[in-house]
Amino acid sequence: MFGFKHRRRERLRATPVPAAWRAIIARRVPFAARLAPAARSALDGLVQIFLAEKRFEGCGGLEITDEIRVTIAAQACILLLGRLDADVYPTFQTILVYPHAYVAAQPMRGPDGTVSDVGQARLGEAWAHGPVVLSWDDVLGGAADVHDGHNVVLHELAHQLDNEATGPGDGAPALARRSLYVAWARVLSEEYAHLIDDVAHHRHTVLDAYGTTSPAEFFAVATECFFEKAQVLQHRHPELYEQLQIFYQQDPAALPVGVDSAAPATAAPPDSD
């Protein structure tokens, strides 16, 4: 079964991307313009696989089009450019897309201890071993500005990478070697605590305050910042940047427009794992 899956994916990688899809990526995903030909070709192959294996469903009256499918797929696959031997988001198969921010029920505990569902506006969410949910308006907004540090697709797909490790995300995705978790746990726990302290004292932060919600949200917010505010993140939080660089095997801060931003990062030193 795995041999068939590999052969099918290799055929998809080798299949030319339709010109209409390329035009959508050029128009809707400006981050792709930063990629050199080899990385751009790798992105095309990943998009082919993603679209062949994931199912899109429109919600709230939204009709799914190639514009929606390709725009979301291209952003999702940016996270995989340095990890081409990894699986393509095995923890989910379905993407639900609303036209705008949507309301989801959120359990809330009252003063008397009773729990009730309260409507909460959301831009997206990622369920462990379930679908990814996205607001199309916010997908477009996040992709259009590649420097604002906000991208709902990168955020929710980072949650899915987190979910691949141990089930429901805890901010510790599956790393290449067990020994890497020591530095990962130290750096991300320290940075998480610093962000909580900065937000509590109303200090300016590079990372979005939403990252204080939980370690899983911190990882997702840090991922957005890594790809969209790379140079600032590297300058202000070099150890955090290094950990994300090792995980994603990309170094977006080092590369100007037109340079392969999916070039492998400096390899971690070998060990006996």
Q: Is the pLDDT of residue 168 over 70?
A: no
Q: How far apart are CA 215 and CA 187, in angstroms?
A: 12
What confidence score (pLDDT) does residue 268 get? 43
Phi, psi of 56 (to 5 degrees): -105, 135
CA 211-212-214 angle, 5° bins: 85
- 85 compared with 29, residue with greater pLDDT: 29
| Amino acid 263: pLDDT | 45
Between 222 and 168, the more confident residue is 222
The per-residue pLDDT for 265 is 46
Describe the crossing of helices 136-144 and 152-166 by its angle, rounded to 10 degrees: 100
pTM of the model: 0.86
Q: Which of 164-168, 171-175, 190-194 has the highest mean pLDDT?
A: 190-194
Q: What is the pLDDT of residue 108?
A: 55
For the residues 203-212, what does the mean pLDDT come to? 96
CA distance 11 to 53: 13
At residue 13's C-alpha, the angle toward residues 62 and 32, to 5°, is 60
Place of tokens 């995903």: 29
pLDDT of residue 71: 98
Whether the per-residue pLDDT at 21 is higher than 50: the answer is yes
- The pLDDT mean for the chain works out to 87
pLDDT tens-place string over residues 137-152: 999 999 988 888 899 9
Q: Report in angstroms the alpha-carbon separations of 95 from 1, 53, 61, 135, 165.
A: 24, 11, 15, 11, 20
Residue 63: the pLDDT is: 97
CA pair distance 163, 172, nearest whole angstrom: 9
* 201, pLDDT greater than 80: yes
Q: What is the largest CA-CA distance in the chain?
A: 60
CA nearest to 35, candidates 81, 66, 3: 81
Token pair 């540090």 in the structure block, residue: 149
Map out the domains of the chain as residue ranges.
Answer: 2-254
Q: What is the CATH number of domain 2-254?
A: 3.40.390.10
pLDDT of residue 111: 64
The candidate with the shortest Cα–Cα distance to 117, out of 126, 129, 105, is 105
Task: Select the more confidently predicted residue: 264 or 128.
Answer: 128
Min mean pLDDT across 23-27, 85-89, 127-131, 194-198 is at 127-131
Point out the least confidently predicted range of 90-99, 105-114, 186-195, 230-239: 105-114
pLDDT at 170: 86
Question: Mind listing the pLDDT tens digit for each residue in 250-260?
Answer: 999 976 544 44
Whether 158 shows a pLDDT value over 90: the answer reads: yes
Complete DSSP assignment for the chain: -HHHHHHHHHHHHHSPPPHHHHHHHHHH-GGGGGS-HHHHHHHHHHHHHHHHH-EEEE-TTPPP-HHHHHHHHHHHHHTTTT-TTS-S-TT--EEEEESS-EEEEEEEE-TTS-EEEEEEEESEEE-TTS-EEEEHHHHHHHHH-TTSS--HHHHHHHHHHHHHHHSS--S----SSTTHHHHHHHHHHHHHHHHHHHHHTT---SS-GGGGS-HHHHHHHHHHHHHHSHHHHHHH-HHHHHHHHHHHT--GGG--TTS-TTPPPPPPPP---
- Amino acid identity, position 146: V
Which residues, at least 6 apart from 173, have a Cβ–Cβ distance to it below 8 Å? Answer: 161, 162, 164, 165, 219, 247
Q: Residue 88: what pLDDT?
A: 94
pLDDT at 259: 42
What number is the average pLDDT over the span 51-72? 97
Q: What is the pLDDT of residue 272?
A: 38
Distance between alpha carbon 153 and the CA centroid of its chain, in Å?
6
**pLDDT > 90: percent of the chain:** 64
- pLDDT one-digit tens code per residue, 87-142: 999 989 999 999 998 766 555 555 655 554 545 666 778 877 789 999 999 999 99
